[in-house]
DNA sequence: TTCTTTCGAA
DNA sequence: TTCGAAAGAA
């Protein structure tokens, strides 16, 4: 059986809000080391994965591997019933057909118990090799979300150009064109965790669908920093940390650049 | 004739907002002791009543009994023209076909006068006996509203189980099931007026329509506490106090519990 | 489904 | 205080 207690319901709420726009339902694989999930969007274009390490729960107990087929919209509805500061406890028996969620208010005068029906979901579990990337950019997730939203006005796709100087986002369309450059912050001014930082082997330029990037940025409330890992020709990885308990990763293949 | 002056238009606004979703039009009975109203919803399932004592007005004058047939949506529109801190004066001649509403801004630099047409409404005035109830629960009206809204996700009806320990709300449906327990607060910690308190002769369990409860909770802005009076088999009474000038009461018959 | 209204966040 | 997002009503 699984039993996992998380002191802040807000965290779980944000995780589900971050993923529900991209994935309708998915299997949550619970094991010794924690909970993980992996899914593609319904069009099978982008992929996401979630990792929540057992150390992030107190306590965490999972005797044997369990796969919980959950609907994100149902999960979201149930989590709307939890206060942000509630303590959440997840429980599932082996071979259970429901997931139990208990919410306890901080003062313990209110206890809610929900039992969510589980689904049988065929999961096409693609294994993702741990990739070396030509370029890794750390930047403010709020800034990234803002840029993707703003550039959506101009076109359906954005070009990311990463050099040692900084990362540039550009889009063009009927209105005209737009470009936003985030400069790498000098090492002296490295104080802020949300400063733009770039590690690179060589410059990379990729074209990506803004529709998907705007879906990924729903994860911005989870982490103030997003890490973009890029090489030409292979899917770009966007990673949002979840405290120090895990992360959400999004993968999106670059579009073939057509010169016009 | 009627002449009644209320120092806070906000109060009257909240009263009308609380009732207008349930009742389209109704007779306001004005007499010596104050203003009262009683109506059923259009489906004749739930009932509500309003009492505003004459002592709550300054001054209050009503020589003879007048019945004012008012449309709640019209009344709501007119009250939208009043500032929250305006002083309201209601005036109606005997046998008048309009109700006069005067709004005076606090600094008296602005005076608005509205005359609302009255309607001829057949009222089936049901007399409600003052009932003894097996169980009375006082709880935060905001919390109650939140619970009814949350549980609407799960099903169309909610089961209320009141015991000495607390009151439990549960609902179930396609998603799964949900239950919320509010514990009775210890008498030591009785400081907060919105703490859950229960007075009972014996435990009560009733099933109620969430659709109606969600209509009743529109009255939550009037009072931070709602009082639920229950016995098995007879209509449940929900009471929201209006300062110390009166109250709104809602009555809803329990559904027959079907065991499956 | 769309619009309005309300609530929370910046 | 202003803005945007989310909830509720038409």
CB contact under 8 A, B153 and A78: yes
- Tell me the Cα Rg of chain A: 20
Question: For B179, which of A77, A109, A113 is closest by C-beta distance?
Answer: A113
- Cβ pair B63, B92 in contact under 8 A: no
Which positions ≥6 away from B104 have C-beta within 8 Å?
A: B86, B87, B89, B110, B111, B112
Average pLDDT value for residue range A145-172: 92
In 3-state terms, what secondary structure has residue B258?
Answer: coil
Name which of B3-7, B27-31, B126-130, B250-254 the model is least confident about.
B126-130
Task: State the smallest CA–CA distance between residue A119 and chain B in angstroms.
Answer: 11
The sign of the torsion formed by the CA atoms of A17, A23, A25, A28 equals negative
Domain at B135-252, CATH class? alpha beta
Sorted by sequence, the CB contacts under 8 Å of residue B75 that are 6+ apart come out as B16, B20, B116
Distance A143 CA to C9 C1' (A): 16
Question: In chain A, which residues have their Cβ closer than 8 Å to the Cβ of B179?
Answer: 112-114
Residues in B closer than 8 angstroms to A78, CB to CB, are: 153, 175-176, 178
B260 has pLDDT over 60? no
Nearest CA in chain B to A110: B182
A152 pLDDT tier (thresholds 50, 70, 90): confident
Query: What pLDDT is recorded for position B234?
Result: 94
Nearest to B182 among A110, A114, A115 (CB): A110
* Average pLDDT of the segment spanning B185-200: 79
pLDDT on residue A187: 66
| C-alpha distance across the termini of chain B, in Å | 58
pLDDT of residue A153: 84
Q: Considering chain B, what percentage of its residues have pLDDT values greater than 90?
A: 79
Beta-strand pair B2-6/B60-62: antiparallel
> For A78-120, how does the pLDDT look when each residue is reduced to its tens digit (9 = 90+)?
999 999 889 999 999 998 899 999 999 988 889 999 999 999 9
B224, exposed or middle or buried, with CB in 10 Å at 0-12, 13-18, 19+? middle
Across the interface, of A74, A110, A117, the residue whose CB is closest to B180 is A110
Q: Which residues of B touch A77 (CB under 8 A)?
A: 153, 175
pLDDT of B129: 87
Chain B residue with minimum CA distance to A79: B150
For residue A191, pLDDT over 80 is answered with no
> Helix/strand/coil (H, E, C) string of chain A?
CEEEEECCHHHHHHHHHHHCCCCCEEEEEEECCEEEEEEECCCCCEEEEEEEEHHHCCCEEECCCEEEEEEHHHHHHHHCCCCCCCEEEEEECCCCCEEEEEEECCCCCEEEEEEEECCCCCCCCCCCCCCCCCEEEEEEHHHHHHHHHHHCCCCCEEEEEECCCEEEEEEECCCCEEEEEEECCCHHHCCCCCCCEEEECCCEEEEEEHHHHHHHHHHHHHCCEEEEEECCCCCEEEEEEECCCEEEEEEECCECCCCC
A246: Cβ contacts below 8 Å, ≥ 6 apart: A34, A50, A51, A52, A53, A56
pLDDT score for A199:
95
CA B131 and chain centroid, separation: 18
Q: What is the mean pLDDT of chain A?
A: 91
Token representation of residue B57: 């007005």
pLDDT at residue A185, as a whole number: 80
pLDDT higher than threshold 60 for residue B96: yes
- Tell the CATH topology of A2-117: Proliferating Cell Nuclear Antigen (3.70.10)
pLDDT band at B187 (very low <50, low <70, confident <90, very high): low
Under DSSP, is residue B219 helix (H, G, I), strand (E, B) or coil? helix
Whether the per-residue pLDDT at A188 is higher than 70: the answer is: no
Distance from CA of A214 to the nearest CA of B (A): 28
B125: left (phi over 0), alpha (psi -120 to 50) or beta: beta
User: Is the pLDDT higher at B165 or at A191?
Assistant: B165
In sequence order, the 6+-apart residues with CB closer than 8 A to the CB of B65 are B29, B30, B31, B32
B196 to chain A, any CB pair closer than 8 A? The answer is yes
Mean pLDDT, residues A236-250: 94
- The distance of B193 to chain A (nearest Cα, Å) reads 14
Percent of chain A whose pLDDT exceeds 90: 74
Residue B11: DSSP 8-state: H
Q: Which residue in B has a C-alpha nearest to residue A83's C-alpha?
A: B146
Return the number of other C-beta atoms located less than 10 Å from residue A61's C-beta: 13
Which of A74, A108, A109 is nearest residue B175 as measured by Cβ atoms?
A74
Residue of A nearest to B196 (CA): A109
The yes-or-no verdict on residue B106 having pLDDT over 90 is no
| Closest-CA residue to B257 (of B138, B128, B170, B183) | B170
A147 CA from D2 C1′ (Å): 21
Asked whether B247 and B51 are in contact (CB, 8 A), the reply is yes
Residue ranges per domain, chain B? 2-117, 135-252
Q: pLDDT, tens digit, for every residue of B111-147? A: 999 999 999 998 777 888 889 999 999 999 999 999 9
Report the pLDDT value the prediction gives residue A190, as an integer from 0 to 100: 62
Across residues B69-83, what is the average pLDDT?
Answer: 91
Residues 96-155 of B with CB under 8 A from A: 143, 150-151, 153
Residue A132, pLDDT score:
94
Considering any atom of strand D, list protein residues whose CB lies within 7 Å: A 17, 80; B 21, 149, 214, 218
Residues in chain A closer than 8 A to B165 (CB atoms): none
Q: Give the mean pLDDT of A184-201.
A: 80
Q: What is the pLDDT of residue A216?
A: 93
Nearest C-alpha neighbor of B147 from the set B170, B123, B173, B172: B170
Task: Say if residue B93's pLDDT is above 60.
Answer: yes
User: How confident is the model over A243-250, as a mean pLDDT?
Assistant: 93
Q: Is this model's pTM higher than 0.85 or not?
A: yes
| pLDDT digits 0-9 by tens, A31-89 | 999 999 999 998 899 999 999 999 999 999 999 999 999 999 899 999 999 998 899 99
pLDDT surpasses 90 at B231 = yes
> What pLDDT does residue B107 have?
86
């Amino acid at each position: 059986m699984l039993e996992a207690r998380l002191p802040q319901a807000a965290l779980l709420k944000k995780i589900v809000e971050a993923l529900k726009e991209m994935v309708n339902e998915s299997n949550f694989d619970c094991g010794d080391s924690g909970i993980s999930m992996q899914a593609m969007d319904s069009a099978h274009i982008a992929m996401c994965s979630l990792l929540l390490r057992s150390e992030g729960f107190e306590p965490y107990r999972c005797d044997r591997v369990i796969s919980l087929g959950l609907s994100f919209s149902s999960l979201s509805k149930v989590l709307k019933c939890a206060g942000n500061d509630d303590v959440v406890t997840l429980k599932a028996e082996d071979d259970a057909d429901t997931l139990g969620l208990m919410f306890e208010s901080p003062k313990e005068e209110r206890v809610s118990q929900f039992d969510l029906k589980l689904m049988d979901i065929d999961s096409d579990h693609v294994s993702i090799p741990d990739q070396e990337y030509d370029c890794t950019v750390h930047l403010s997730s709020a800034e990234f979300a803002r840029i993707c939203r703003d550039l959506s006005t101009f076109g359906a796709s954005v070009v990311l150009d990463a050099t040692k100087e900084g990362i540039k986002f550009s889009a063009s369309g009927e209105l005209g064109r737009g470009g936003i450059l985030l400069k790498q912050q000098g090492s002296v001014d490295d104080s802020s965790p949300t400063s733009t930082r770039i590690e690179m082997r060589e410059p990379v330029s990729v074209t990506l669908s803004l529709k998907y990037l705007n879906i990924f940025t729903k994860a911005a409330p989870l982490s103030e920093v997003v890490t973009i890992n890029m090489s030409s020709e292979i899917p770009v990885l966007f990673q949002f940390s979840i405290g120090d308990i895990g992360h959400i990763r999004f993968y999106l293949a670059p579009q073939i650049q057509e010169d016009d």
